[in-house]
Structure 1
């Protein structure tokens, strides 16, 4: 079995994030991406060399070669690997990268509030057959 070129570590409790991962999954016809939900019980990021606080702060990805990509670098790699690099073309422009990275970090820090403002429904969490929506904002 072929190892994915990039594994994305995403927050499956973030409605916007989950929608984007769903879109990437749909475009991932060649299987170049793998996806790991960091909100799953028992997930341990130790093997990545980062802690949960860092993973929760920004999207992380790990390449097949073992390199860890963070924030906009993860997004650029993911969209490029599924043939949608033009979606994130501004991330390739060197003078735009610092302000876009800053804006991304602000977005990521407020992703639950922004998800709600954008009309995304909270992701339900279920345990023992009982489900509830998580509203961390």
Structure 2
């Protein structure tokens, strides 16, 4: 008897569902086809189990992706790994692999993280007012 090939473990997108910006971005990704199975885990949910050796606060502070081999990547590296699975977005992943681009993306992401609390406040106010940013 021939054994079926093992299933490819999904990539797991670990995101902050309490963040209105993150929810919008994740909703976009969830609506796209992927060449790799994807799971989405809202780490702001206290019932969501966390990868070993992590904290909820650390996972909510940056974008994280758990790869099929179990490794955890974050920031620009995580975005690039996700984009590589999404038809129509793969060109971004290829561009990020050019010399120096991932480094620049990570610096830009760190800059965004400093602005994130203020942006979250604005989007939250818009959502409460019934507007769409």
**TM tier relative to shorter chain:** 0.7 to 0.9
**TM-score using structure 2 length:** 0.74
Residues 86-123 of structure 1: CA deviation (Å, up to 9, x unaligned): 24554222312223212212313432322455xx3469
Residues 24-58 of structure 1, C-alpha deviations (whole Å, 9 max, x = no match): 1111355621100011123342x332222321221
Which of these two proteins has the greater Rg computed from alpha carbons? 2
Find the counterpart in structure 2 of residue 25 from structure 1.
30
The structure that is strand-richer by fraction is 1
Q: Indicate whether 1:50 and 2:38 are aligned.
A: no
TM-score (norm 1): 0.72
CA separation of 1:101/1:18 partners in 2, compared to 1, >3 Å: closer, same or farther? Answer: same
Q: 1:61 to 1:112 in 2, by over 3 A?
A: same
**Contact between 2:63 and 2:78, CA under 8 Å: does it hold in 1?**
yes
Q: CA RMSD in A?
A: 2.9
> Pick from 76, 83, 99: which aligns with 1:79?
83
CA spacing shift, 1:29–1:97, aligned 2, 3 Å: closer
Do residues 113 (structure 1) and 131 (structure 2) align?
no
Cα distance in 1 between the residues matched to 2:20 and 2:109: 16
Q: How many Å separate the matches in 1 of 2:7 and 2:125?
A: 34
Q: Which runs of 5+ in 1 are unaligned?
A: 125-131, 133-137
Aligned residues: 123
Q: Identify which of structures 1 and 2 has the higher relative contact order when contacts are C-alpha pairs closer than 8 Å and 6+ apart.
A: 1
Q: CA deviation at 1:79?
A: 1.4
Unaligned runs of 5+ in 2: 1-5, 129-133
Equivalent residue of 1:34, what SS? Answer: strand
